[in-house]
C-alpha cells in the first residue's frame, strides 16, 4: 500500500526558525491531510540514520525549553556570522603564517563560544524529541517526500537505503538560485547545494516545485545533468504556497517601536525579507533616497532577520540620516507584529533580483495590501495584473511609482488588489499531496499496464 511520508527534519529540530522555507514546511505539515483517496499522509523525520513518524512538530509550550531553543537558534546564526568574518579576514591576509595564526585563534574560540554550547543544547533537544516522534517501519511502495531543506542534511545514506527497499523519492524544490546566481552566496554553500542537487537529480523519481517558473528551471537543469532520456523518466510539477501567518498569539503585543512607525499620516512602504544581497535592499534605499530628495514624505520600513553578506548594507542603514525619521529597520518581528505591519502599510515593495516564489507578496496581497515588485517572471506568475512593476536597472522607476502613488492615491496596477484571490495553507498542502499522488499513482498504473502487455 502506498503511503506519503512527508519529511520535515530541519523544522522538527529547529522549531523556532521562521524564515521562508521553514514557514512553508511548518504550515504544510500542520495542514497535512490524514489521507487523500485512501493514501495515508504521514509527517516523518530522519534522525541518526532512522525513520520516525512525527507526533508533534513543535515542542510543548515550556518557557525554559523554548527560551533555550531560541537562544540556540540565535547562537547558531551568530556562529555563522563569526565564521563569515573569519573567512573574510583569511582572504585578506597575504601571509600564510598570519592566516595560520588567525585560524589557530579562531578554532578554540569557536569551540568554547559556539560548538560546546550548541552541542549541549542539541543533547537537551534530543531528549525532548523522544516525546515528539516514534520509530516508523517503511515498506515498499511508500513515497518519501523531501519537503524540508535537505542540502545540509546527513540522511542521504538512509534515503538511498529506503530507495533500495522500494520507497520512491520525491523532492520539493524551492529554487535553484545558488546554481543560477552563485554570486549571492558563499562559495562553500554553492558547492554544497550543487553537490546536493546532483544527488537529488539522480535519486528522485519526481520533483515538485513551488511555482511553475521553478518547475521549468528544474526540468531544464535535470535534463542538462542527466540527459533527455533519464530526465524524461522523471516527472515535474508544482504547487503554490499559502498566505496565513500561523505564529500569532492572542496575548502577543505588537512591538511599540513598530506601532509608532504607523502613527503619522505619512504613507509607509513595507519591505519584508531576510537581509541578504539577493533581496536588493541597496536598490530600495537608492530609490527612496531619490523619492525623498524630490520631497516625498513616505516612510520605508524594512522588516527581516539579518542574513549573510550584508555588513555594508547594515552600516549604510545605521548611518543613514533618515534612520528613525523616514527609514526604519526591524530584525526580529513576531508574526503578530508583522501582521500589524501588513495591516497598516500603504504598499509592499519587493525589489528582489530573483525568487523561487516571493511569499511576502502573497502574504501582503491576501490582506489587501498592494505590492510593487521587480519585473521578474515569478512575480508576474504570482501577481499578474494586480501588481505594479519596476525596472531593476533603474531605481528611479521605483521612486516614480512611490511618488505617483503618494500624490494621486491611485495604485499603479492594471487591476485592483481587492479582486485578487489566493489559496490558504490548507489548500496549498492538499495541492502538493494531490499533485504528487497524481504522478505516483499514474506512473504505477502505467507500469502495471506495460507489464500486463509484456509477452
Confidence of residue 335 (pLDDT cuts 50, 70, 90): confident
**Which is it for the CA torsion 34, 37, 40, 44, positive or negative?**
negative
**Residues 366, 444: one domain?**
no
For the ranges 57-61, 62-66, 215-219, 346-350, the lowest mean pLDDT is seen at: 62-66
292: part of which helix (H) or strand (E)?
helix 281-293
Length of the chain: 455
Q: DSSP assignment, residue 184?
A: G
How do residues 108-144 score in pLDDT, each as one tens digit?
Answer: 877 777 788 877 876 766 666 777 899 999 999 999 9
- Return d(Cα 392, Cα 382) in angstroms, integer: 18
Q: Which of 122-136, 315-329, 356-370 is modeled with the greatest confidence? A: 315-329
Residues 102 and 220 in one domain: no
Q: Residues 131-181: pLDDT tens digits?
A: 789 999 999 999 999 999 888 888 899 999 999 999 999 999 999 999 999
247 domain-assigned: no
Q: Are residues 164 and 190 in the same domain?
A: yes
Question: How would residue 320 be classed by pLDDT, with cut points 50, 70 and 90?
Answer: very high
User: Is the confidence at residue 447, as pLDDT, over 50?
Assistant: no
Q: Grid coordinates in use for 185?
A: 552566496
Residue 220 sits in a domain whose CATH number is 3.40.50
Is 187 inside any structural domain?
yes
What is the three-class DSSP state of 1? coil
Q: CA 366 to CA 172: how far, in whole Å?
A: 24
What is the tens place of the pLDDT at every residue in 261-306?
A: 999 999 999 999 999 999 999 999 999 999 999 999 999 999 999 9
Is 323 among the domain residues? yes
The DSSP code sequence of 9-61 is: HHHHH-TT--SHHHHHHHHHHHT--SEETTEEEEEEEEETTEEEEES-SS---
State whether 180 and 94 are in the same domain. no
- Are 70 and 37 within one domain? no
Lookup: cell for 275: 537581509
d(CA 454, CA 379): 48
DSSP state of 251: T
- Find the mean pLDDT for residues 10-26: 82
DSSP state of 384: G
In a domain, 163, yes or no: yes
Let me know whether 403 and 342 are in one domain.
Answer: yes
Exposed/middle/buried for 73, CB within 10 Å: 0-12, 13-18, 19+? middle
Q: What is the mean pLDDT of residues 212-224?
A: 96
- 220 and 350 share one domain: no
Burial per residue of 390-404, b for 16 or more beta-carbon CB atoms within 10 angstroms, e otherwise: bebeebebbbbbbbe
Query: 241-272 burial, b for 16+ CB within 10 Å, e for fewer?
Result: bbbbbebeeeeeebbeebeebbeeeebbbbbb
Same domain, 164 and 303: no
> How sure is the predictor about 66, in pLDDT bands with cuts at 50, 70 and 90?
low
Residue 249 lies in a domain: no
Domain annotation covers residue 11: yes
Mean pLDDT in residue range 89-94: 76
CATH of the domain at 263: 3.40.50.2000
pLDDT exceeds 50 at position 203:
yes
**Paired residues of 173 in beta bridges:** 209
**What is the DSSP track for 185-245?**
S-HHHHHHHHHHHHHHHHH-SEEEESSHHHHHHHHHHHHHHH-HHHHHTSEEEE-------
Query: What stretches of 239-307 adopt beta strand conformation (E)?
Result: 268-272, 299-303
Q: Do residues 374 and 281 lie in contact, with contact meaning Cβ atoms separated by under 8 Å?
A: no
What are phi and psi for residue 186, nearest 5 degrees? -65, 150
Mark whether 19 and 148 lie in a shared domain: yes
Answer yes or no: do 191 and 263 share one domain.
no
My answer on whether 42 and 169 are in the same domain is yes
Q: Assess whether pLDDT exceeds 60 at residue 454.
A: no
Task: Say how many domains are in the chain.
Answer: 3
Residues with Cβ within 8 Å of residue 150, at least 6 apart in sequence = 7, 9, 10, 196, 200
Contacts of 325 (CB under 8 A, 6+ apart): none
Cell of 67: 527560551
Same domain, 212 and 354: no
What residue numbers bound the domain in which 90 lies? 63-129
* 248 in a structural domain: no
Cα separation of 404 and 291, whole Å?
Answer: 10
Domain presence at residue 74: yes
Amino acid at each position: 500500500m502506498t503511503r506519503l511520508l512527508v519529511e520535515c527534519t530541519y523544522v522538527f529540530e529547529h522549531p523556532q526558525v521562521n524564515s521562508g522555507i521553514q514557514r512553508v514546511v511548518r504550515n504544510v505539515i500542520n495542514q497535512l491531510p490524514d489521507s487523500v483517496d485512501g493514501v495515508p499522509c504521514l509527517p516523518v523525520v530522519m534522525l541518526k540514520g532512522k525513520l520516525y513518524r512525527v507526533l508533534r512538530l513543535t515542542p510543548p509550550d515550556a518557557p525554559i525549553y523554548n527560551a533555550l531553543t531560541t537562544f540556540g537558534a540565535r547562537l547558531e546564526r551568530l556562529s555563522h556570522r563569526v565564521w563569515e568574518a573569519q573567512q573574510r579576514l583569511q582572504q585578506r591576509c597575504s601571509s600564510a603564517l598570519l592566516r595560520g595564526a588567525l585560524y589557530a585563534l579562531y578554532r578554540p574560540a569557536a569551540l568554547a563560544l559556539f560548538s560546546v554550547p550548541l552541542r549541549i543544547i542539541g543533547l537537551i533537544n534530543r531528549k525532548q524529541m523522544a516525546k515528539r516522534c516514534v520509530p516508523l517501519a517503511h515498506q515498499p511502495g511508500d513515497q518519501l517526500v523531501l519537503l524540508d531543506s535537505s542540502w545540509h542534511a546527513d540522511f542521504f545514506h538512509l534515503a538511498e537505503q529506503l530507495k533500495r527497499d522500494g520507497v520512491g523519492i520525491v523532492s520539493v524544490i524551492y529554487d535553484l538560485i545558488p546554481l543560477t546566481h552563485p554570486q549571492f552566496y558563499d562559495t562553500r554553500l554553492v558547492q554544497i547545494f550543487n553537490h546536493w542537487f546532483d544527488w537529488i537529480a539522480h535519486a528522485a523519481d519526481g520533483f515538485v516545485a513551488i511555482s511553475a517558473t521553478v518547475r521549468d528551471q528544474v526540468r531544464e537543469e535535470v535534463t542538462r545533468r542527466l540527459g533527455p532520456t533519464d530526465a524524461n523518466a522523471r516527472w515535474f510539477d508544482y504547487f503554490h504556497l499559502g498566505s496565513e501567518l500561523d505564529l500569532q498569539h492572542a496575548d502577543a503585543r505588537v512591538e511599540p517601536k513598530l506601532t509608532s512607525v504607523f502613527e503619522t499620516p505619512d504613507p509607509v512602504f513595507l519591505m519584508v525579507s531576510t537581509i541578504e544581497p539577493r533581496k536588493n535592499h541597496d536598490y530600495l534605499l537608492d530609490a527612496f533616497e531619490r523619492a525623498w530628495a524630490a520631497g516625498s514624505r513616505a516612510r520605508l520600513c524594512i522588516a527581516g532577520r539579518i542574513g549573510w553578506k550584508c555588513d555594508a548594507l547594515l552600516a549604510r542603514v545605521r548611518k543613514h540620516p533618515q534612520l528613525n525619521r523616514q527609514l526604519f529597520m526591524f530584525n526580529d518581528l513576531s508574526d503578530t507584529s508583522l501582521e500589524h505591519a501588513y495591516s497598516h502599510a500603504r504598499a509592499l515593495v519587493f525589489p528582489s533580483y530573483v525568487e523561487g516564489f516571493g511569499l511576502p507578496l502573497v502574504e501582503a496581497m491576501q490582506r489587501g495590501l498592494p505590492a510593487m515588485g521587480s519585473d521578474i517572471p515569478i512575480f508576474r506568475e504570482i501577481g499578474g495584473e494586480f501588481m505594479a512593476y519596476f525596472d531593476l536597472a533603474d531605481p528611479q522607476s521605483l521612486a516614480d511609482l512611490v511618488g505617483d502613488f503618494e500624490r494621486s492615491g491611485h495604485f499603479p496596477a492594471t487591476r485592483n488588489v481587492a479582486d485578487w484571490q489566493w489559496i490558504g495553507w490548507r489548500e496549498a498542502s492538499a495541492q502538493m499531496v494531490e499533485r504528487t499522488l497524481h504522478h505516483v499513482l499514474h506512473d504505477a498504473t502505467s507500469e502495471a499496464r506495460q507489464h500486463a502487455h509484456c509477452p
